[in-house]
Amino acid sequence: MQGAGNDFVVVRPEGGRRDWPKLATAMCDRHYGVGADGLLLLLPSRVADFKMRIFNADGSESVACGNGMRCLVKHFLDEHPRGGGDFDVTIETLAGVRTAKVHGRRGHVTEIRASMGEPRVGHNGSSARAGEGGRETVDITQEMGRTITVDGQPLRINLVSIGNPHAVHFTEIPVADFPLCALGPAVEQHRLFPDETNFEVVNVVSRGEVVARVWERGCGETLACGSGACAVTVAGQLLGLLDERVEVSLPGGALGVHWAGEGEVFLSGPAVTVFRGEWP
């Protein structure tokens, strides 16, 4: 499945134990496997409609993945249709129970809007809260902002957690020209981030639109990243650059993000089944 080009192998395990990190590495290999950014597991849950686990292409397990969550909700509903109208689907994740708001029409799902939880900023994980009209609070933006030097180049980054860590860099350089593949690994593994980090580079087009590229920890550059789109929106709003609703254009397509300045951040976008098959 894919969401804005962020692609996944989706598996519903049926009994028995598996070495999921090893399988993720094998399945996600684009030359000798299926090829994907990650492996998604749809599991039974006692507290939600289903449980999700996410393994990156390098076998590491991730806490949050917005595009993956929407893909699993779509897969779940394909197997458990609920008819028309609007309804909620609950998902158990390592970051807690999340809710996806599903909009339907004539028996077809038209939009999946997933809650990504409450964002936090800075190394201390403070609750993110914007001032009136998007004006930042000095304490929050000071805690959020850091300047690091990578390959001799200073980068101003803004630290936002959407369950997983993100370093957001707003730049005047067109993101298509930014040396993301050269600097991305160095930012991901910078000593400031003992558990590594995702890295976003962003051009602000208007208060409601940005263009971005993402270097994902454990994956490399991906065509899209849902939690990254949310981190970009939260950082931009706290800095007074963006409004509540933002379209984030990524190489694989556009994602919609809504954050009211506090509380949960919501992500919407496509979720498509590409093909089905068997792994021997």
Please give the pLDDT value at position 83. 72
Give one DSSP letter per residue of 7-51, joined into a string: EEEEE---SS---HHHHHHHHH-TTTS---SEEEEEE--SSSSEE
Please give the pLDDT value at position 138. 43
Please give the pLDDT value at position 253. 95
CA 34, CA 140: separation in Å to the nearest integer? 43
Give me the catalytic one of 71, 219, 225, 230: 225
Please give the pLDDT value at position 17. 85
Contact 225, 214 (CB under 8 A): yes
**Would you call 179 helix, strand, or coil by DSSP?**
coil
The residue with tokens 């134990």 is 17
Show the low-confidence residues of the chain (pLDDT under 70): 107, 123-128, 131-141
166, amino acid identity: H
Fold of 2-117: Diaminopimelate Epimerase; Chain A, domain 1 (3.10.310)
Known catalytic residue: 230? no
Please give the pLDDT value at position 135. 42
How far CA 224 is from CA of 71, 132, 253, 270, in Å, comes to 13, 30, 7, 11
Instruction: Provide the Cα torsion 121, 51, 197, 9; round to 10°.
Output: -140
How far CA 144 is from CA of 111, 147, 186, 245, in Å, comes to 32, 10, 20, 21
The residue with tokens 């029409």 is 105
CB atoms under 10 Å from CB of 59, counted, come to 17
Please give the pLDDT value at position 68. 95
Please give the pLDDT value at position 139. 56
Handedness of CA 191, 213, 58, 125 (dihedral sign): positive
Give one DSSP letter per residue of 76-88, joined into a string: HHHHS---SSEEE
Fold of 120-263: Diaminopimelate Epimerase; Chain A, domain 1 (3.10.310)
Which residues in the chain are classed under CATH 3.10.310.10? 2-117, 120-263
Q: Please state the φ and ψ torsions of residue 210, each to the nearest 5 degrees.
A: -135, 160
CA 72, CA 68: separation in Å to the nearest integer? 6
Q: In b/e form, how buried is each residue of 252-274, taking b as 16+ CB within 10 angstroms?
A: bbbbbbbbebeebbbbbbbbeee
**Would you call 265 helix, strand, or coil by DSSP?**
strand
Please give the pLDDT value at position 85. 78
Please give the pLDDT value at position 131. 60
Please give the pLDDT value at position 109. 79
Work out the angle at residue 209's Cα, subtended by the Cα atoms of residues 164 and 198, and round it to the nearest 5 degrees. 20
Please give the pLDDT value at position 56. 96
Please give the pLDDT value at position 141. 65
Give me the catalytic one of 65, 71, 219, 230: 65
Handedness of CA 61, 100, 247, 136 (dihedral sign): negative
* Long-range interactions of 18-21: CB distance < 8 A, separation 24+: 20/53, 20/55, 20/61, 21/55, 21/59, 21/60, 21/61
Give tens-digit pLDDT for 161-189.
999 999 999 999 999 999 999 999 999 99
Known catalytic residue: 181? no
Please give the pLDDT value at position 137. 44
pTM value?
0.89
